[in-house]
Amino acid sequence: MPELPEVEVTRRSIAARLRGARVLAVRCGKPLRWPLGRAPEALVGARLGDTLRRGKYLWLPLEPSPGTPGPAGGGLLLHLGMSGSLALHDHAPPAGPHAHFDLVTSHGTLRLTDPRRFGAVLWSPGLDQPPASTLLARLGAEPFDARLDARTLHAALRRRRVAIKSLLLGGQVVVGAGNIYACEALFRAGIDPRTRSDRISLPRCERLLAALRETLSRALELGGSTLRDFSDAHGMAGAFQSQAQVYGREGLPCPRCGATLRRIVQAQRSTYFCPACQRR
């Protein structure tokens, strides 16, 4: 599943190119998770503003083109789901069976391909209005937000009584810690993934927040992770998975202490950790 680093890498690969582009046509294929919510032809003529990201969502603002009748503005909220990816084509090839949405613009065609169809493209009158505001209201803090500090994180963890790995995956406290990144951040912080969230001390919260930021920063530098078929909008794969210290390394020695790395299942997801370095 594309996580925050992959979505941010995607945003960076399309933002400059699409800024100021005029929508020429919209093609919708098989239904995705939610309907578009607006007639495709109503989007034609709008100009795209700066592409933004919130959690794993992308926001493409639509600005009315001067002197052109048509859309009242708003924007498109995109989610890549479990298997989605965006590609930006100068000349788009014919749409295949998994190409479910094309935004044809004066600067190229943005195509959403999603084999499992859990992704979404929906129109909203604004980020602060439904349906966008309803979906985004469930999200926790951005990991690089300066307002998120160890004390804020500690207070949020004390209000819950679940395993820290599961809490990170949920995204209600802080977004961005997908499975591979949660495993790696907890290893960096020396915290057992089974540790109950309300039992993590303030000093350990400081280490966890720093570890999460370091892990996500490194993932962004390396273009995210490509475990199956992720690539950015220009077809470049990520490389973070090749530097993972615990993820996918069950049975191998811990790079820190040499103990045998373990794999358990939490919330139906594989968790990799060192039983010696990571303590409850």
Name the pairing type of β-strands 57-63 and 75-79.
antiparallel
**DSSP code for 269:** E
Q: Exposed, middle or buried: residue 159 (CB in 10 Å: 0-12, 13-18, 19+)?
A: exposed
Residue 247: both structure tokens together: 């993820």
| Alpha carbon of residue 177 to chain centroid | 9
Is 41 designated active site? Answer: no
How far apart are the C-alpha atoms of 238 and 222, rounded to whole Å? 6
Is 263 designated active site? Answer: no
Is 143 designated active site? Answer: no
Output the CA–CA distances (angstroms, integers) from residue 17 to 5, 50, 57, 84, 92, in the order listed.
19, 10, 19, 20, 15
**Catalytic pick among 2, 5, 71, 143:** 2
How far apart are the C-alpha atoms of 164 and 182, rounded to whole Å? 9
Output the CA–CA distances (angstroms, integers) from residue 190 to 187, 210, 212, in the order listed.
5, 12, 12
**DSSP code for 41:** G
How far apart are the C-alpha atoms of 219 and 237, rounded to whole Å? 12
**Catalytic pick among 17, 47, 56, 207:** 56
Q: Exposed, middle or buried: residue 27 (CB in 10 Å: 0-12, 13-18, 19+)?
A: middle
Is 2 designated active site? Answer: yes
How far apart are the C-alpha atoms of 154 and 209, rounded to whole Å? 10
Active site residues: 2-3, 56, 269
